[in-house]
Chain A
Amino acid sequence: MDSVTYHFQDLDTLIEQVHSLFDTWEGDSDLLDIFSLSTLYQVKIATHEWLANLVQHANFEQDTTDVSLLVKPVDDRIFCVIEDNSDGFVLDEHLEIEPEYLDSLPERGMGLLILKICTEDLLYHGGEMQAINRLEFYVSADQDQWPNTPF
């Protein structure tokens, strides 16, 4: 896995294109010498949940939609940055959702919780008229998600 930033301009094909990237990385023996497939799949689901959020809910008013993805190994973690030029979100409230506010077996609202559970150092800078919104997080190869799992 090289440290490269990928740019996407088409929301209709964004998810498929990113999945193809992960398919490629699944076959990267050098990467799998460092990280397990489970770790890579955690990165994949975290990335997917955020991109799904953008596709479904973000307001892209500019003529050119631009979503960028950076995924790179950093020591024993994988670092991800997703930037976009939508209007952004006010996320604090959503990221503070406590498990007791969710019904058991919730049909909605799990996406950001899943994103929180499988990542570390999750940060979002966006909305409030910023030109570029940025979500960044780490996925640790040794992360034990059990204590964080609210379900």
Chain B
Amino acid sequence: MSFVFEATNDPDSVIVRIGKALDFRNAAEFKTVCQEKVRGGARNFVLDFSETGILDSTGLGSIFSLYRQVSPLNGQVVFASVSRPVQVVVQLTRTYKVFRQFPSVEAAQEALS
């Protein structure tokens, strides 16, 4: 159930492989690690939802928290490879208005570079 953070060639950017779920069970951990990354200089976060079967309200709240941290620093949070279950939540909550979506992590990285 754990997510994986990957460094990129761009020191300001981080890829987060969300994995199977981002929900009330691991959202606090996600938030903590993201805060550490931001303190370490990361500004742009690409969230890879390709394997994600559940994104719940708590998980979404932790993403909003990340957004609030990086936005004042001209950073971005974008979604990549959004799975169908996550797309349902994105549509329900209209978070597509805030977070750009890309068909792949590579496409997201290119857009952020």
Contact = CB atoms under 8 A, between A and B. Distances in A.
A49 B91 CA distance: 16
Interface stretch (A61-69, A77-85, A106-114, A126-134): A106-114
Given A15-B25, A45-B56, A106 B88 contact: no
Interface in B48-103: 53-54, 56-58, 60-62, 64-65, 67-68, 84-85, 87-89, 91-95, 98
Nearest to B60: A110
Contacts, number: 73
A145 interface: yes
Nearest to A110: B57
A93 B67 CA distance: 29
Contacts of A106: 61, 64
Contacts of A125: none
A49 B61 contact: no
Interface string A102-144: 0001111111011001100000000000000000000000000
Interface of B: 21, 23-25, 53-54, 56-58, 60-62, 64-65, 67-68, 84-85, 87-89, 91-95, 98
A42 B88 contact: yes
Which of A48, A56, A106 is the most central at the interface, judged by chain B CB atoms within 10 Å of its CB? A48
A108 B64 CA distance: 10
Interface residues on A, range: 20 to 34
A134 B23 CA distance: 23
A149 B62 contact: no
A53 to B, nearest CB: 9
16 contacts: A15-B25, A42-B92, A45-B89, A49-B56, A52-B56, A52-B57, A56-B24, A105-B98, A106-B64, A107-B64, A108-B58, A110-B61, A111-B57, A145-B91, A145-B92, A151-B95
A149 B84 contact: no
A111 B84 contact: no
B65 A107 contact: yes
B55 to A, nearest CB: 8
B61 A44 contact: no
Contacts of B84: 37-38, 41
B92 A114 contact: yes
A136 to B, nearest CB: 20
A45 B54 contact: yes
A105 B88 contact: no
Contacts of B57: 49, 52, 109-111, 113-114
